[in-house]
Amino acid sequence: MKAVKYILLMLMALLFALPAQAERIKDLADIEGVRGNALVGYGLVVGLNGTGDSSNSSPFTINSITAMLERFGVNVRPDISTMKPKNIAAVMVTSELPAFSRPGQQLDITVSSMGDAKSLRGGTLLITPLLAGDGQVYGVAQGALSVGGFSAEGQGGSAVKNHPTVGKIPNGARVERAAPRGLRSDQEKVTLTLREPDFTTISRMQAAINSQLGAGSAVAVDSGTIEVMNRSGNAVQLVAQLEQMTLITDRPATVVVDERTGTIVMGEEVKIDKVAVAHGNISVSVSENPEVSQPFAFAAGTTTTVDRTTLDVNEEKAQLVVLPRQVTLASLVSALNSVGATPSDLIAILQAIKAAGALHAELKVI
């Protein structure tokens, strides 16, 4: 047993002693102009088994059905007041147009109910134009929905599983207009944008690029942007080369606290100064035990209820623990665990240490 504990301690020591791993630029930065575009459209789902929109709560569904049928030469306006579209639902269709998409490519789409439809299961989406932020149509969607939930009800009850008013159609849309070009092969320079801006990381990235492409190839504009000259005249080849370059990143010391779930996450950069901590809980218990007061026989008076309140205050004993100046995350965790506190207590302790100026990290509460 002692040998196993010794091996575990050795493995932990080796784990925290490992040097920082080099990361690819591909995983740290985005290429300016290379991004997706959101698409949205309004359509109708037909073929539902009585689980569609009601005419009272979703009048826009009636209007949409009327407009659609008129395009096919069917005039239903005289009977519009009697229409009950239980098998039809108005929906919003959303998708993502990837960068460099070309006409003919297929996209996955998500279909979400707009009205009071109970379920989209078994429905078919009719042809729906998909628009981007510029108001132009970039795709057209249509097809049978795949819904992961269901809804059923009867006279005395109902049952719902998952979310039956949202469905997906794999490859349910086809690109009709090419995505805007954000990168040209002959452009003068390529701009990289860090996902987490940091002056040290951007400086190391500039040095890594210049060491491989030559001095002056890369210039850091700010803590999150770096410009690389396209000396070869082929931006596509340059981006592919940049993505595979590696460097050791730097990040600020941060402690993330979620008070709702009692979760604490901290990086290995977190350090604390020598500090003494004493933590104890105070619990207050209040209980009501009403008693009945009854007069003696043949005595004047009435039976009444008398309140009896029991109040108990319990304060746990707290032991003063000295947390030494920490140099590793492992030793900091061990020191905090030595206090014997719960996650909620640890959150309070970290906040108090931060207030005392002994916690050298940003404390984020989410």
Domain at 223, CATH number:
3.30.200
With left for phi above 0 and alpha for psi between -120 and 50, is residue 35 left, alpha or beta?
beta
Q: Are residues 200 and 146 in the same domain?
A: no
Q: Are residues 152 and 205 in the same domain?
A: no
Between 189 and 150, the more confident residue is 189
* Total number of domains constituting the chain: 3
Q: Is residue 301 part of a domain?
A: no
Q: Are residues 157 and 200 in the same domain?
A: no
Q: Are residues 43 and 170 in the same domain?
A: yes
Q: Are residues 161 and 193 in the same domain?
A: no
Q: Are residues 78 and 143 in the same domain?
A: yes
Q: Is residue 10 part of a domain?
A: no
Of 133, 149, 175, which residue constitutes the final position of a domain?
Answer: 175
Of 114, 149, 175, which residue constitutes the final position of a domain?
Answer: 175
CA distance 224 to 341: 40
Prediction pTM value: 0.68
Confidence band (pLDDT; 50, 70, 90) for 343?
confident
For residue 350, what is the DSSP state?
Answer: H
Confidence band (pLDDT; 50, 70, 90) for 182?
confident
- Note the pLDDT of residue 250: 84
**pLDDT digit string (tens) for 42-57?**
999 999 988 888 877 7
Neighbouring residues of 126: CB distance < 8 A, sequence distance ≥ 6: 43, 44, 45, 46, 68, 142
For residue 361, what is the DSSP state?
Answer: S
**pLDDT digit string (tens) for 1-43?**
444 343 334 444 444 444 557 899 999 999 998 989 999 999 9
Residue 147 belongs to what domain range? 37-175
CA distance 228 to 88: 54
CA distance 234 to 119: 51
Tokens 């096919």 — which residue?
Answer: 72
Q: Is residue 208 part of a domain?
A: yes
Q: How much is the average pLDDT of 309-315?
A: 56
Q: Is residue 8 part of a domain?
A: no
Q: Are residues 240 and 263 in the same domain?
A: no
Closest listed residue to residue 57, CA positions, set 86, 78, 79: 86
Closest listed residue to residue 112, CA positions, set 134, 101, 97, 128: 128
Q: CA dihedral defined by 134, 138, 143, 146, rounded to 10 degrees?
A: -60
